[in-house]
Every structure is written in C-alpha cells, then in structure tokens.
Structure 1
C-alpha cells in the first residue's frame, strides 16, 4: 500500500473517534472499479467491487467490516443512481467468476459484465490469466485483454470515505505519488483528464467532494504526519471545469496530518 494510504489506513482502521472509515482499493483484495465506454465517457456505465475469491478477504473481522462497507456503497449507488453495481470475485485457475453471488465461467462472466456495463468485447477475448504467480492484479490483466482497449475505460478508485455517524459516504480520494517534478510545480496531468472526469462524474452522482492528494514520498512505507501534500478539490456544482480543477488557484498545501480533516 502506498505511503499516504498506509497513513490514512492506520488512522482510520479502528473507526476512529471521528467515525470515519475508508474503503481503499488494494488488488488483489477488494478494489472499486469505475467503468465507461468511449461513447458514454466520462459518464459512468457501471461500478464493480472486485477481489480474488481465494483470498478469503471477507472472512476476518476486518474483512467482514469491509464487506459491510461494500454493501453500504452498493445501497448508496442503487439509491442515488441508475448505475449497475457488480460484486465480482474471480478464480481464474478454476475458470470461475462469481458475480453478485452467481457462478459463471470466465468467458460467460466476462460477457455478462460487458452486457451490464455496456462494454465492447475484444475481438479475441482472453478466457483466463496464465501464470498468476507473476501477476499482482490478475483481474486488471484479464479485463484489459477481454474488453476492447480502444472502446472501454476502467479505473481503480483509490479511496472512498464512509461517515458512520452520519451513515453516508462523505468524500472520494485519488492519491498521486510522484517526485518526477518539483513538489510546488505538480498539477494533475492533462493525459489523465479522462480518468479524473470519470471520478468527477461519480462525485456529481453522489453529491460529495472529490480530492486529489499529491505527495512526493517514494521511499518510506508510511508518510510522515508533517510531510507536505498538495490538495486539489472538485466540488459538484462549484468546480466548473477541468482547467479550473487543475489550476494552482485550486491547490491547497497542508501536512498529511491536516489532510485527515478532509476525510
């Protein structure tokens, strides 16, 4: 887990006194994926939560709580949007996808996902992933080959925050770790605009803010609380366009510890 997400997880895993909890996408463990196609983009066509069936991620007390949060997210999506939501568990060695509790072969399951999310299938779809030992995110590799690379967009949502006191999801986070440019010069990359706009679409649908957190900590496992981070904020109905979102006038610099107040 990257340094900033490690820091957030450490400070929220007990539910904390603030009542804030987080779902962090961490393949092959549960990962929230946003989907769309080239005709609909940036409007989303589906959301899934994906995990390795053999990882038994939901069997521990911590995993059971994660599953409860996933179910809360499913309910929120159902209540506030028309988006299909799929809980997908994969077992590629046994040619198995379990989707919303129903067993499919990998081929049939992939076709079902494509139908639900309006996604074009590749001309030569992959049935399963070979040599799983060398792959850290098998579902990503499989889906990249199964669905059309030119017509399908898929994005891992880094983190969404649940407020147990208010019984709702309160914010979305995208985390960027980079020291390729100076800290003070960093802005969201124009090449990533389609991905940002997919997250903005979700923020609009749920009417919650979306924060991009950038930091340049690339050596430590956990970011220092005093480390400075860049924060770019998207607020539905307030941030009018992409250029305004990525402008320096929309940037706030604060410590990692101070950024916890955004949760």
Structure 2
C-alpha cells in the first residue's frame, strides 16, 4: 500500500472521511486463466507495517473464508526473503515463516493452479502507476505467469458490510477529461474479474470512478470537491463503456449514495 503522499485523492478522501473503509494492505483477487472462476484472494503487507483498521480485514477474511474461497495473508520483506503467512482457511491464529518455494507450493495447492511451466512471454508488464507495487506482487506475477489472472481492489465502501468495490482510474494533467474518458477495451478482463468477485463473494456493487488530475498543487482531497465520472458495471462491455452508462458526479455523492442509503 502506498504512503499517503503517493495515494490518489479518492483514497485520501476515503481515509479522512470513511476510515472504516480504508484498506491498509494489498487486496488481490486471483482468477483462473480464462477469468471464468475466482480461485483465491491474498492480503499482503510489508513486514512491520501496522494495520489499524483490523475490523475491515477481519470482516473480509471471515466473509470470504465462510464462502469457501481460499485466503492467504502474507507479511513480507522480499528484499530479505523474510516471509510469513497465515492460511486463513486453516487457522487464522497461526502465522509461520516460509521460503519463496514454499509460498509458491502453498498458492499452487490452495488456489488449484496447474503446476506446469509458466508462459511468461505474454505477461502484462507491471504498470508503475498500479496501487500494488510491492515485491510480492512482482514475484507472484513472474512465478505464475499467464496461468492465472490477478486484479487488485483499489478501494471500497464499508459499513458493517461491503457496499461497493471501486476501481479507480485517473488521467494525468493534460490527459483525457472526465467527459471524454471511457473504460479501455484492453481492461475488459480485469473488469470482469472484479465484477464476478464483487457479486459472488461480497454481494455488492462494482463501480469505476474516473477523475482527472488538474494540477500538482492545491489538489483537493475533500470528497465534495473531487469531480468524477461514475461507471456502474454492466456485463455487456459495450454497454458498460457506453456514455449512456456514465454519470458526472462527485465523490461525496457516491459515498452518500451508499453510506446514507444504508442509514435510512
């Protein structure tokens, strides 16, 4: 998880205004090669990094393990090959050390990934703007190659239960405006995985929020001042990326739609 200096305005606003929704670890959903099945989830964090919002983590672990989905928690310093794991389906109190080979074997077995040589030639390169930039993410991508697909959950809205998972997209200064941006065809599989996971395992909405970085200075991190394009997911991708499915709004209106709706 990036430091607050590296976080985007949407995540900073959620941290300030909806602390119960703040993710303090990397939340990665794994799917099989053709993205037709969710095969597991990993939560990982850098060793010694505190997790203060443990209620959300505990909720997610309990919810997902109750569904039978394999869950692995990873605490690591990959530079020093210092890796500890919790097999959440087996014993959530047992944290133990593993080597990278043992971690690979654990993931292969729990997520039922075929133990054949990886096809790495067509692997997606690591996007330096991705939220998940730690070495566990890099290692797992290099180790399992195209045998699996992975997406990270950028952020979510939570109050007693998860109300929505959110994909955050942004265009840099001088890039596409909120009015002109549309979801990219090349990301179609990632959207499918996030939607499949959100619906089948969290029973919640999946939405995409796009914003444009207007300047380097004086960037507002108050939700009422963050203009966004809202894209609710539709399994028909052409309809999903159609402007008929788009709405210009603010982050505060999105938060209020979910949080205040639950209070009624």
Q: Same fold (TM over 0.5)?
A: yes
Structure 2: segments with no counterpart, 5+ residues: 1-6, 87-94, 119-131, 259-264
Calculate the aligned-residue CA RMSD, in Å.
2.3
Residues 119/222 of structure 1: CA separation in 2 closer, same or farther (3 Å cut): farther
1:113 aligns with 2:112: no
Aligned to 1:5: 11
In 1, distance between residues paired with 2:197 and 2:72? Answer: 16
Residue 44 of structure 1 pairs with residue 38 of structure 2: yes
Could you say which residue in structure 1 is the equivalent of 2:140? 143
Aligned twin of 1:89: 75
Equivalent residue for 1:132? none
Native 8 Å contact 2:155 2:166 kept in 1: yes
1: distance between equivalents of 2:116 and 2:26? 23
Q: Deviations over 1:49-74 (max 9, x none)?
A: 11112x3323xxxx2xx223111101
Q: Is the 8 A contact 2:82 2:97 kept in 1?
A: yes
Report which stretch shifted further, 66-75 or 214-223. 214-223
Structure 1 residues 160 and 255: alpha-carbon distance in aligned structure 2, compared to 1, 3 A threshold: closer
TM (norm. structure 1) is 0.77
- The answer for the alignment partner of 1:176 in structure 2 is 169
CA deviations 1:70-113 (Å, max 9, x no partner) are 1110111123x331111111132443322212321121112211
| Partner in structure 2 of residue 103 of structure 1 | 97
Higher RCO structure (Cα 8 Å, ≥6 apart)? 1
- The answer as to whether partners of 2:178 and 2:248 remain within 8 angstroms in 1 is no
Q: Aligned pairs, how many?
A: 225
Superposition pairs of residues 195-234 of structure 1, within 5 angstroms: 195-205=190-200, 206-217=202-213, 219-220=216-217, 221-223=219-221, 225-234=224-233
* Aligned equivalent of 2:126: none
Shift of residue 37, structure 1, vs aligned partner: 2.3
